[in-house]
Every structure is written in structure tokens, then in C-alpha cells.
Structure 1
């Protein structure tokens, strides 16, 4: 039997696909921003001399990394509802995605912190730099620079994982695709279009983070080091 593809009826729904793609990017960028803060604090906690802080950070990382994202989304979604807290699907998705990416970012940032030579920090202190200057210029920025490619890959993976949020009716790209294919009965064509859009979104995100890396790490730009 010959395969007959008809994209016309699917492409007529382009406003819905555009809306879903925009929400996918919004979910990703908000979760990435909040998750980076959590991950940085978590990495500091993992290296803390305080045993309680170190153990709490470790439990958080292991709990998130060893459970599926879908289960985490459901835990947040139904957990908040059971406490009488009613939030939109988008808010719940942001919370779940932030918790997830925060754990992975913790381990990536911890590797970055451990890669900063101790002598470099001592030299900065010997130059009478303030604690804030040492933290930002000698520890944090060099640590992020070393793990920037890993962070970029993790953030792109998070964008792809937002598709799971369609299970709680967050109307991101995959949710829109589900609506379109159920309405048009053109599932194959619909998911081909969605796959192409996800590839495009991945390329856009990589370009954005590449550009951000050029701004944050001028030394690598001058040396021509890949970001």
C-alpha cells in the first residue's frame, strides 16, 4: 500500500504550533534561569564543610537523578493539589522542570568548581581582592567557563524534555501536536512537523548559548577556544 502524505491540513494549524513552540522556549528559559541558581547553590552545598548541608544537597541530587522526570512532574502536580494549592499547568511545569535541571546543574557546577585551582584563589586573596571579586571573577566565572558546553547540552535536553509536560495539559509543542493529530487524523505528518520544529528549537538554543558564551567568556573568544 502506497504511503500518501498530506501536510496541507497540518500546516494550516501553524498558529497553534507557533504558540506551542513559544511556550516550550518560555518553559525552558525560565527553568534554566532558576535551575542555574539552584544548581550553583547546590554545588556549593555539595562542597560545604557542614555535614548537614552536604548531605541535604546530596539527597536532593540523588533523588532527582534517580527518578523519571514524568514522575517528578506528577509528584509536583498532584502533591500541590493535595495540599490545596492550585496552580496552572504552566506553573507546575516550571516548578518540576526547575527542580529537575537544578539537580543536574548541581553536579555540572560541582565539577566546574573542583576544576578551579586552589592556588588561583590564594593568589587572588594575596592581591587583596575582595571576597565578592574572588567569588565572581576567580571562582564562579572560570568554573562556568569550564563546564559551559556541558551546561548547554543539559539545557537543550531540558527543552526536549518539556514534552513530558503535555501530560498535565501544559500546552507546549507536543501537547499542540496531540490536539492537531487527533483533530486531523494525520498523526504521521503532525509528528514529522513537530520533530522538525524541535530540531529548529535545539539549533536556536545552541546558538543563543553560544552567543551568551561569547559575551561571558571574552578570553575564550580571543583564543578561539570552542564554546
Structure 2
């Protein structure tokens, strides 16, 4: 039955994936009176939310002028770096900005306008690192930080293969990682990221003089949407020719582009383009790039299980101690444990891990990504397991205790033969289900750079741009993990505690 269900899921995904993407043509956009353009909401001065909770920045100013040139209203859609291509492919947005580098891999899935701006990849580091040029960073004691979904991640695997990698999800997180000593350097467009260094004035920042490489960033549109591509090309050409692009860049960045967009780059906007296919091709499944990385994904699944095991058993120890304290401790101890349980069961585990990972370094305590996640989930699990175990102990009926007393059982025999069997039978199924929750909850570790199953799936997705295939396989691995764990836990429950079938769910 399970195998049949999984097959039906794959067939449904295949059907959906071969339907042409719902990209709107330029005529449809004009009839609707609105164009949806994706911009990164956490990328100042490119685009970010201001004090008025409105998006502003270089990309936003360009987007407004493009919408005006097309004669439509502008609808800005917050689009993180890793979402730029998937949002276009799925039709969520009509065009994507956010420093979208023009690469052959992306051109296989989407089309680009002429370049909007350049990006010169350089090195941002501190005086803690001994390096005078970027080649000096190619050593094993260096940790490079970068954002998932950025072109530089894959480029650096070839140019700087020796350093360790720390992947984060936000631009500010990358600079914070260096400031807190988690990473040594960032290889990115220095124009984009130097603004974040002002948040850490006590750190002695420096930029290595020689850029690693330069590239062009354009505006992405859906594959085959030639009418919109041509309209945006012509509007961009005018904005380049009249100096608007260069002027807005100077206004937001305080300097000229490191590499100027010249006449040769914008000339194709005036050239006739080859005729597009009558129907824009839809997204076609290609499993090969993802299946080739299956061992990498399975390795991430083992990391997920490792996190879950640590959090469960350490949390169970905390839960047992907490339950005993609540039931038999003094008033002060009960209040302390009650406060701990209330705090950790009424705040999200993600917030708890965030504070451990990002706030503690300001107090001089620096935890690694894996350690912070393991401790955070352990403390969270301990609070919930305290209540589960306490309820199990409290469920022992007075009549059972009285019967044991009549039989003359001592305290040790009472614990071994009456209390523990009852408690284990009562709490086993909730404990088993909670372990499954921890396996799935370990996915939040990806937000802190831990390469467990979800983190590795994000890495593969952003490198291959095969989002549907990647997360379908990752989802199937999660299903396999939970089904196997549920079956194993149910078998253990039946064998040891006579728990009915379904003990893992």
C-alpha cells in the first residue's frame, strides 16, 4: 500500500511538472495592469525593508522605472536568493532581480535580459586572517562563508577547494559569521556586502585587492517568454543610455560599479531575436542530477538521525529529572522546573536555537552549528518529555500502590515491578511519537549551516536548479526514515512492554 501511494505521488508530480509554466506574456501583463517582480528583501542597498516597512533600494528603483516603461503598476514580491529561479519557473513572479548572475546552468531553465549591472567577486575578511591575495585562502584551516543559491558557491569549489564551507541563508548572517569568528572570509561581490560590515565597527575589516572573477547580472524571465524579455531589454537599454542605471548605482552604493556595463553588453537589446517556440516549454523533470547526489543526501539523513538521537536521549534524561522534581521536589525546585517547562514549551525551538547560536557569542560563548542545534533541541525536548514522563508517573493508580503494600513489596520491588512497568507502558507511545517529531524537526538545523538532509537538499537544489526533483527525493527519504523508525519502535514496544501495534505513531 505504501509503495503504491509513493508511486501515485511521483506520477502526480510528473504530470504537474510537465504542464507549461504559468508565465504571463507581455500582453497579459499589460491587460492586468501589473507586473510582479521579485526582489530580495534582505539585501541592502540592493533591496530591503525601511523604517516605513516598505521595500527600497537600487533594484526597487530600477523595477519602478521598468514598470513605468511598460505602462503598468509594480508589485514587488519578496524573493530570497534560493527562490529566484524556482519562483520564475512556477510563475509566481514575472521577472526576477536580486543580483541574478547570468550562468549557463540558469540559462537552461530561464531567460535573461541584457546585463543590469556587474559583480566583481572579491574577498571580505578581517585582520585575524593572514592573507594578502585570494589564493592565500586555499588552505584547510580557513572557513569560507556564503549564501545558499549564490553562483559563487559552486565557482569557489573549483578555485578554492581546500577551505571548509559554511552556508547560511542570509546576507547579514554571512557577515555576522565572520564577525563572531565562525568563518574567516566571504567571497562575494564586495559592493553588495561591505554595507553589512558597518554593523560590527569593532571588527577590523579588510578587502583583499585582487578580485577573483567578474560576471554580469541580468533580470530573469520565464523560459521562452520572449515578448517580456524584449520589452525589458529595450527599457533597460534606455536606462543605461541615459545614465539612469549608473546614477542609481552611485546613489545607493556611493561609488561607480567595479566593472561598468558598456555598449557591447547592452547592444543585443536592439538586435532581432530568434523566433520563440509557439508554446513556451514547461518544466521537465530531470532526475539524473539529483540521483547522482543520492549518497550525499543519504549521508545527510544520517546526520538528521544523529541530531534526533542526541536530542531524544539527552532530553529524556532531563525529562526524567524534571518529572521527579515536579512530583517529589520542594516548592522552590518545583517552581524552577515549572518555569523551565513553561519557557521552552511556549517558545519555538527555532527561536531557542537562534539565541544559542547568534546571541551567546556576544557573551563570549561561541557554539558550533551542530552543537547549538543539538543543545537547543535537547532543551526543548527535555521540557516536553518532563511533562510526558510526569503524566506517566502520575497515572499510577493508588489501588496498585495499595495492593503492592498489602503484598509487602519493598520500595525497590515497588519501583521495579509496579511503577516502572506501568509508566513505561503509558509513556512509550508518546515517547516514540516524539522521537519521530524530532527526526522531522531536525530539518531546522539547515538554517544554521548544518548539512543534514534538508540542508543538503537545499545545496543540491540551488546548485542544480532542480527543486521539484530534489525535494521529492528528500521527502521520500524522510518518509522512509519515519516509516522505518515507526515500525522498529512499534516492534520494540510490542516485545518489551506489550504496547499495541502503532507504537511509533
SS of 2:365 mapped into structure 1: coil
Find the counterpart in structure 2 of residue 18 from structure 1: 298
Deviation at 1:106, TM superposition (A): 1.3
Match of 2:355 in 1: 75
- Structure 2 residue aligned with 1:176: 456
Give me the CA root mean square deviation. 1.9
Q: In the alignment, what sits opposite 1:155?
A: 435
Give the drift of 1:103: 1.1
Superposed, 1:1-227 pairs within 5 Å as: 1=20, 2-48=282-328, 50-217=330-497, 220=498, 227=503
Distance 1:137 1:165, change over 3 A: farther
Question: Which deviates the most, 109-118 or 9-18?
Answer: 109-118
Instruction: State the shift of 1:18 in Å.
Output: 1.0
Structure 1 runs not aligned, ≥5 long: none
How many Å apart are 1:160 and its aligned residue? Answer: 0.6
Task: Go from structure 1 to structure 2 and tell me whether the alpha carbon gap of 1:110 and 1:16 turns closer, same or farther (over 3 Å shift).
Answer: same
Task: Note if contact 2:311-2:377 (Cα within 8 Å) is conserved in structure 1.
Answer: yes
Task: Tell me by how many angstroms 1:74 deviates.
Answer: 0.9
State the Cα distance separating 1:22 from its structure 2 match.
0.3
Structure with more strand by fraction:
2
For residues 111-135 of structure 1, the C-alpha deviation after alignment (integer angstroms, 9 at most, x for no partner) is 2112111232343344444433323
Q: Which moved more, 1:113-122 or 1:30-39?
A: 113-122
Q: Which runs of 5+ in 2 are unaligned?
A: 1-19, 21-281
Give the Cα–Cα distance (whole angstroms) in 1 for the partners of residues 444 and 477 of structure 2.
16
Q: Is the 8 A contact 2:490 2:502 kept in 1?
A: no
Runs of at least 4 residues off by over 4 Å: none
2:246 is matched with which residue?
none
Does 113-122 or 183-192 show the bigger shift?
113-122
Are the equivalent residues in 1 in contact too, given 2:494–2:501 (CA < 8 A)? no
| 89-98 or 47-56, which deviates more | 47-56
Q: Quick one: distance in 1 between partners of 2:450 and 2:398?
A: 45
Number of aligned pairs?
223
Deviations 1:6-63 (A, max 9, x none): 1111111112101100010111112111111111221222223511111111111111
Residues 150-204 of structure 1: per-residue CA shift (max 9 Å, x gap): 2211111111111111111111111001110111011111111111111111112
Bigger share in helix: 1
Query: How many Å apart are 1:79 and its aligned residue?
Result: 4.1
Deviates more, 1:84-93 or 1:57-66: 84-93
> Per chain length, whose mean CA-contact separation is higher, i.e. which structure has more relative contact order (CA < 8 Å, sep 6+)?
1
- Identify which range, 171-180 or 87-96, moves more after superposition: 87-96
Q: Distance in 2 between matches of 1:68 and 1:226?
A: 28
What is the TM-score of this pair, normalised by structure 2? 0.42
Using structure 1 for the length normalisation, give the TM-score.
0.89
CA distance in 2, matches of 1:21, 1:225: 26
